[in-house]
Amino acid sequence: MAGLFGSLELAKKSLITNQYAFQVIGHNIANINTDNYTRRRIDLSPSSSVQLGGNTYGTGVDIAQVHGVRDRFLEYQIQRETQNSGKQGSMSGYFEIVEALFSEKTSTGIGTSMQSFFNSWSDLSNNPTGLAERYSVVSKGTILASKVKEIYTQLSSQQAIQDNTVYTTVQTINTAAKEIASINTKISAGLKVGEEMNDLRDRRNVLLEELGTQVGINVYENEAGEMTVEMAGKPFIVGGTYHPLEISRNGANHNFYDVSLTQSGPSVNITSSIKTGALGGILEMRDKTIPAYQNQLDSLAYGIITNVNAIHSTGYDTQGGTPTDFFVPFTPATAGDYTGAALHFEVNPDLVADPNRVAASSVNGEVGNNKVALALADLQRATSVVDSDNDGTFDAGTFSDYYGKLTTKIGAEALTTYSQETASGEVLVGLKNRRDEVSGVSLDEESSSLIQYEKAYQAMARFMNVISDMTDILVNLGS
């Protein structure tokens, strides 16, 4: 439409468009403090022109779209770093507990107890007929065995806690996935009828971040605006459908939970493929880190049991009794497999009941002979007393060396985790700050846009007044 009436229609469309721009700006400002809100931007385009009498007339302006300002590559980086941060965060908390268990800051640590045990043999060598010294040897041996057993048991308790956390984490993941699939359906339907669905997109981004904190995922957006989520290389969320995670007990792994992904066919066990996110950290601690520490405690316990018994079983007590083992013997199921040695670690009950049976002499009936007690006291300095590589042969240095390497390893792995957690957190903060710069609301920018649209609105209002006056003149001329 051309002419005055066409100009009035043009002015009306422009005023309505500017009013809508005010609404978009107001919505942005209202949500300046809303977490994870993505700034909206209105894109305008010229209305279709009309041809009349060989001339082309513009018809004003249309709203092309209102969209959230997003940087897809930045969102991808945040997604990846969120998964790393989730893993390091979960492992960090467990390492704090493990470090406390192996701490030697008190007099009850394994290292201190081990030293006290061998020192008690030195005391007995100085008084090979002493009953008090024999009581001390039995007591120190019991304390050492109990401490090794206690730490091993507490590590198992941590595994049980982590296993329970696997269950709750899987439920959290499934809940988020179900909502993401539902939002996918709503967004797809809305886009088909021309709606932008920005609020739902924001909510979906929040859920995807939460999901990434819990487990490693890959995310892709299709042309329909739906997010496809893969886990362990398998489809997890496709459009409005999600494949729930399932858990089941694994009898071959202490009856701990395995994690499987349901598919159209049989479920796929993905436990070993989950590497990142909190769940990845939990599984690594439960199935790799803690078992490695327990394996070393078993090797240490077996080394002490076997070497002490090898010497003590050749000695004699003050009563001329039959030689016996100091610790309850432990026989590996196969060469190099010392599983269970730490839990089996205990002083021979016969000696606990009668410390007089503790051997110090190498010759039966020879009062004052202290060779066995001396040999056991010197055992703390003996080398090749622990099988460090589980090949069935003692090869490590001293007991203290072996245990020192274990505590050093724990400290180094904990420090690495703490450092990675800090670094990942700093990177994540930087990425989110960058996202806020791109997608967040800036009062300065919104104020500038407000002034821009206000002036356009005022100018178009004046334009409409002019057209109205011209129309009045034209009508009056006709009358």
* pLDDT attached to residue 2: 58
**Residue among 433, 409, 413, 410 at smallest CA distance from 421:** 413
For 279-288, the pLDDT digits (tens) are 999 999 999 9
Work out the pLDDT band at 30, boundaries 50, 70, 90.
very high
Q: Is the pLDDT of residue 1 over 60?
A: no
Buried b vs exposed e over 137-163: b needs ≥16 C-beta within 10 Å?
Answer: bbbbbbbbbebbbebbeebeebbeebb
Residue 35 CA to residue 157 CA, distance in Å, equals 38
- Average of pLDDT values for 380-386? 94
Give the C-alpha distances (Å, rounded to integers) separating 215 from 158, 248, 400, 440: 20, 18, 39, 26
Residue 213 CA to residue 217 CA, distance in Å, equals 10
Q: What's CA 86's distance to the chain center, in Å? A: 4
* pLDDT attached to residue 176: 96
Residue 468 CA to residue 447 CA, distance in Å, equals 31
Q: What percent of the chain has pLDDT over 90?
A: 72
Q: Is the pLDDT of residue 90 over 90?
A: yes
More confident residue, 39 or 59: 39
Residues 6 or more apart in contact with residue 175 via CB below 8 angstroms: none
Residue 214 CA to residue 345 CA, distance in Å, equals 38
Q: Is the pLDDT of residue 20 over 80?
A: yes
Q: Is the pLDDT of residue 359 over 90?
A: yes
Q: Is the pLDDT of residue 412 over 90?
A: yes
Radius of gyration of the chain (CA): 38
Q: Whole-number mean pLDDT of the chain?
A: 92
* pLDDT attached to residue 3: 66
- Average of pLDDT values for 466-477? 79
* pLDDT attached to residue 464: 86
For 135-151, the pLDDT digits (tens) are 999 999 999 999 999 99
Work out the pLDDT band at 63, boundaries 50, 70, 90.
confident
For 153-193, the pLDDT digits (tens) are 999 999 999 999 999 999 999 999 999 999 999 999 998 88
Domains of the chain by residue range: 3-69+441-475, 75-97+168-275+414-431, 107-156+289-397
More confident residue, 160 or 60: 160
